[in-house]
Amino acid sequence: SQTIHQWPATLVQPVGSPLSLECTVEGTSNPNLYWYRQAAGRGLQLLFYSVGIGQISSEVPQNLSASRPQDRQFILSSKKLLLSDSGFYLCAWSVLGRLTGELFFGEGSRLTVL
Amino acid sequence: DQQVKQNSPSLSVQEGRISILNCDYTNSMFDYFLWYKKYPAEGPTFLISISSIKDKNEDGRFTVFLNKSAKHLSLHIVPSQPGDSAVYFCAASAGGRDDKIIFGKGTRLHILP
């Protein structure tokens, strides 16, 4: 069966510090991978999505970046965090080509920038 | 520009009654719609979906209705149970290889005893 894991689960970082959130998927190949953020009053905002290794599409201009160094690994990074980067970050995967359109989410990572 | 809109931030429904959550979309290219349920500090979980070729899909207590001409869909939960208290997200996809799935802001459902 397929599983998705992301870490760390919680993170408290000072403004201006770097960020790295990791996500891995097991039990499937060639998944679409996504990073979403849930911020207060903003719902689930799509940040990045990837259809393959090294292929990243950015949805929202920001100081965040994403990378996909391996087929089932997706990393969210920042060189310098802003206060507005605080939120609940969710990694997700879906079947390439969308047989069902369903997204499978990880447990989430709570980031607090102070 | 919000392509998927959930205009009610919250909704309170008596246990046993019907809960109706609404969603509007603006992109006519969307052809697949999904509802997700989310508890605090957890990732969303898939509830039910509907393709644009249908106008209704039912799964147990959950039914999703799609009105393409109005660009509107709704989720009906009957009967509502205490465990249904959560945030519900409407989502839509236009398909293609990119397969972006766009979410609304969510509606918090409170089931009252």
pLDDT tens digits, one per residue of B9-46 = 999 999 999 999 999 999 998 988 999 999 988 899 99
Rounded CA-CA distance A64/B94 in Å is: 25
Tens-digit pLDDT profile for residues B85-94: 999 999 998 8
Q: Is the pLDDT score of B97 beyond 60?
A: no
Check CB contact of B100 with chain A, cutoff 8 Å. Answer: yes
Report pLDDT for A43.
Answer: 81
Best of B42, B101, B105, B107 to mutate (most A CBs within 10 Å, chain A): B101
Q: In this complex, which of B43, B89, B101 lies closest to A106 when CB atoms are compared? A: B43
Residues A39, A112: Cα–Cα separation, whole Å = 11
Cα A63 from Cα A49, distance rounded (Å): 16
- H-helix or E-strand containing A77? strand A73-78
Question: Tens digit of pLDDT for each residue in A34-82?
Answer: 999 988 777 888 899 898 899 998 887 678 999 999 999 999 999 999 9
- Cβ separation of B99 and A106 shorter than 8 Å? no
